[in-house]
Amino acid sequence: MKKEEISFEYQVFDDASSLMEADRSLLQKAKLATQTAYAPYSQFCVGATALLANGATVSGSNQENASSPAGLCAERVVLAAAAASYPGIVINTIAISYDNKRTSISDHPVAPCGICRQSLLETQLQQQTPIRLVLSGWEGNIFIINDVRHLLPLSFTAADME
């Protein structure tokens, strides 16, 4: 038997004041996007804002549905909006934030769910450029992950089907 380990590094910032201006602005837009979420069931409002290579930003928020598999996460909404509005333009960074209306506590970063991780990775593979993530609640620490591959180790991709 052989043991192997998978690990990755990410940056942790105490708060938004420590971020570069571009990341701070993007994160603020993601926080604002939480206000457009439709989350009557979970009360967990997520906002995401993508910065594209052409300088444009695109925002999205989670959209729940009584038929729960039919809902969409903010990350997939922003990926679709960017692809539809700016086809072929690379996504450089996506900031993701949330507002937990149920507990009123949004004080730490949360990472994308599994299907969003797969969707983010698929987009990154398609554009052949890493996508940075800036993850934060309304307050507290902020995580910066420089490559979405880190969130989905041992991923399943089109290459596995060749």
Strands of 37-113 (E only): list them: 44-52, 57-61, 91-100
**82 confidence band (pLDDT: 50, 70, 90):** very high
d(CA 106, CA 127): 32
The domain covering 19-143 belongs, at the CATH homologous superfamily level, to Cytidine Deaminase, domain 2 (3.40.140.10)
d(CA 48, CA 9): 22
Per the annotation, the verdict on 5 as an active-site residue is no
CA nearest 142: which of 95, 102, 101?
95
Average pLDDT rounded to a whole number, residues 85-107: 97
**69 confidence band (pLDDT: 50, 70, 90):** confident
pLDDT at 68: 81
Sequence-distant (6+) residues with CB within 8 A of 127 are 90, 91
- pLDDT (tens digit, 9 = 90+) per residue, 7-30? 999 999 999 999 999 999 999 999
Catalytic residue among 4, 21, 64, 75: 75
Q: In the structure, how many helices (H) and strands (E) does the chain have?
A: 3, 6
Mean pLDDT across the chain: 96
Average pLDDT rounded to a whole number, residues 113-122: 97
Q: What are phi and psi of 84, to 5 degrees?
A: -75, -40
Please give the model's pTM, rounded to 2 decimal places.
Answer: 0.96
74 token code pair? 């903010």
104 token code pair? 């009123």
Strands of 3-162 (E only): list them: 11-13, 44-52, 57-61, 91-100, 132-136, 142-145
d(CA 45, CA 104): 11
**36 confidence band (pLDDT: 50, 70, 90):** very high
